[in-house]
Structure 1
Amino acid sequence: MPTFTAPDGTELAYHLRGEGEPLVVLPGGPMRASVYLGDLGGLTGHRRLILLDLRGTGDSAVPADPATYRCDHMVDDVEALRAHMGLEQMDLLAHSAAGSLAILYAARYPARVRRLALITPNPSALGMRATVDDRLAAARLRAHEPWFEKGFPALEAWLTGQADFDPALAPFYFGRWDDAARALDEATEEQTNEEAEGCYFADGAFAPDATRAALTALTAPVLVHAGELDGGPRPDLARRTAEAFPSAELTVQPGAGHHPWLDDPEWFVRRVVTFLDW
């Protein structure tokens, strides 16, 4: 298992999968070990994935200072990985909550990004985030599903603070509630650092106006990839995320939820590879 040292001395791990040009991958969660990403629907057949385990997750060490779990503090971890891999510029892919980490990285190190793919990203770094109404509107698209009658009230109660998270609402995060989706969902708790998860979006992590201004220096093409059925981000929020970049394109994957490589692997891989190799 390869490792490198972050600027504060924390030993961080990464995993290499596949062959081809390197693609650095940042996992979401927030603060979930990169193992949940698997081979990203077969993307390993086209690219060599460099999957970072964020500090305190997976095979990476726990930092001495828990405050460094905050999203903005990990930007230099990503830069240290780039330098360790000897990449003058890098193609970067980020999923979900890591979308904000990748956005902050692109704002701080715009010259180091060759291409940036944001997969169902959380755009909190830009001062935007999915709302309760967004998530409920997306959930209503699933009214034909057999689990909807039980799941929707649980989702509404959780989102409005009236109840704790209920396993019955897990299917809303997937375009297809099948064995692969169940397996990914069941592994969530084991693969997530809950202490770090609570720190990731802590106060002070983001300065949206400064980030937006810094992104004007980014010349790299950006792909914002949304799922048609995803509540966070819904396609409209993904569109507004794309508008924050000088050169960005939006894709909405039909029938996909928050993990689009599970819902239609061939569609997902074809779209991402087309973007990266263009």
Structure 2
Amino acid sequence: MHLSSDAMYPAGESHATARRLSLPDGEQVRVVESGDPGAPALIFLHGWGCSAYAWRHFAAPAAASGWRTIAIDLRGHGLSDRPSEAGKYRREAMVDHLEATLNALGVASAPIVAHSMGGSVAVSFAMRAPKRVPRLALFGPVGFGIVNRAAWSQLLPPSLTGALLPSRIPRWAVRFALKHSRGAKGVSDEREVDEYWAPTQFPDFLNAMRLLLHGFTWEPWTPTELAALTQPLMLVFGDRDSVVKPQSVAPTLVRCLPGAQLHVAHGAGHVVPEERPEWALKLLLPFLNPPDG
């Protein structure tokens, strides 16, 4: 049995609340917030197929450090809307969605912490509006490595539309995907499987994932493109990351970014924020600096 929408994260978390925002085009986006509403904002963006749940280990510690944390369910994910137009899932359109969400939240400027696909969205937005993103912390980000999406692309090819799309994903397949995206730690518990399985109950979820697979920009940034990125940057990879393979790309790109920090989580896979949250927080909070209040 899938978790109901009401039972999904942040259900049971006393420090966090969720709400849906209406964007100017009528699209709905869900955000999960923690901390003092008047504190400086700190934005969290998840990766492909994930949701705000990916940042569950970060919300309370960051809020306790003086931040208003805002984890966004990006378009197509979690409990945000899942439009059917292919163009909505191109990278620039996803950046438009992020910008509209921040505007609806009244957030003029905030550091962004992002994972995987969310990292590419964050970098694109930081290039577009540098004054709105003073710092970037990226975990296994798309754009800094060769992305291995072959298996998912074969399961969800461009031709698989309409009635040909499966209406559901079996729970065991979600567990398998979670296990193979991680390093030594593996899957933490059954709740983790349930949270990632829950959005697959919605009939348009798989179509949104298919459109992202084939419409988003997954290739690495070039040094010339990254020259536009001037913000302080922290990059974190797992040395067992089999999804975004940074070994041949990230070191070269980091050398193009003066002052960028590069950290490696030994024994971790693609999902360092969930595999090594305590270690990651020890890096992240000092990098962000104490908020001004």
TM-score between the two structures when normalised by the length of structure 2: 0.70
1:272 correspondence with 2:272: no
Asked if 1:238 corresponds to 2:238, the answer is no
Go from structure 1 to structure 2 and tell me whether the alpha carbon gap of 1:244 and 1:118 turns closer, same or farther (over 3 Å shift): farther
Distance in 2 between residues matched to 1:11 and 1:169, nearest whole Å: 28
Does the CA contact (< 8 Å) of 1:174 and 1:181 recur in 2?
Answer: no
Q: Quick one: structure 1 residues 55 and 161, their matched pair in 2 at CA, closer, same or farther if it must change by over 3 Å? A: closer
Residue number among 169, 174, 177 corresponding to 2:182 in the alignment:
174
1: CA distance, partners of 2:58 / 2:189:
13
Q: CA RMSD in A?
A: 3.4
Residue 225 (structure 1) aligns with: 236
Task: Flag the 1:18–1:175 CA change in 2: closer, same or farther, 3 A.
Answer: farther
- Unaligned runs of 5+ residues in structure 2 are 1-17, 156-172
**Does the CA contact (< 8 Å) of 1:227 and 1:235 recur in 2?**
no
- The corresponding residue for 1:15 is 32
* Partner SS for 1:40: helix
For residue 269 of structure 1, report the CA deviation from its aligned partner.
0.5
Quickly say closer, same or farther: Cα 1:170–1:84, change in 2 above 3 A. closer
Pairing of 1:145-184 with structure 2 (within 5 A): 170-177=178-185, 180=188, 183-184=191-192
Alpha-carbon spacing, 1:98–1:243, altered in 2? closer, same or farther (3 Å): farther
Distance 1:71 1:32, change over 3 A: farther
2:55 is aligned, of 30, 37, 51, to 37
1:114 pairs with 2:134: yes
* Match status 1:74 vs 2:77: no
More helix by share: 1
- Are 2:108 and 1:88 equivalent residues in the alignment? yes
Report % sequence identity.
28
| Cα deviation 1:114-156 (Å, max 9, x = unaligned) | 0011111121xx7x52359xxxxxxxxxxxxxxxxxxxxxxxx
Q: Which amino acid aligns with 2:33?
A: L
Give the residue type in structure 2 aligned to 1:6.
Answer: L
Conserved 8 A contact 2:147-2:219? no
Task: Assess, with a 3 A threshold, how the Cα gap between structure 1 residues 191 and 38 changes in structure 2: closer, same or farther.
Answer: farther
Task: In structure 1, give the amino acid aligned to 2:277.
Answer: P
Deviation readout 1:84-104 (Å, 9 max, x if unpaired): 333332100111121221122
Q: For the Cα contact (< 8 Å) 2:84–2:208, is it kept in 1?
A: no
SS at match of 2:240: coil
Task: Select 2:147's aligned residue among 130, 151, 162.
Answer: 130
Quote the Cα distance in structure 2 between the aligned partners of 1:166 and 1:35.
Answer: 15
Report the counterpart of residue 51 of structure 1 in structure 2: 71
Q: 1:2 aligns with which of 8, 19, 22?
A: 19
Distance (Å, rounded) in 1 between the aligned partners of 2:196 and 2:280: 22
Aligned pair count? 247
Q: 1:51 to 1:166 in 2, by over 3 A?
A: closer
1:246 Cα deviation after fit: 4.9
Length-normalised TM-score, structure 1:
0.73
Distance of 1:83 and 1:158 partners within structure 2: 36
- The corresponding residue for 1:216 is 227
CA deviation string 1:63-122 (max 9, x = no partner): 363431233211112112222333332100111121221122122222221001111112
Structure 1 unmatched runs, 5+: 133-156
Change (3 A) 1:78 1:161: closer
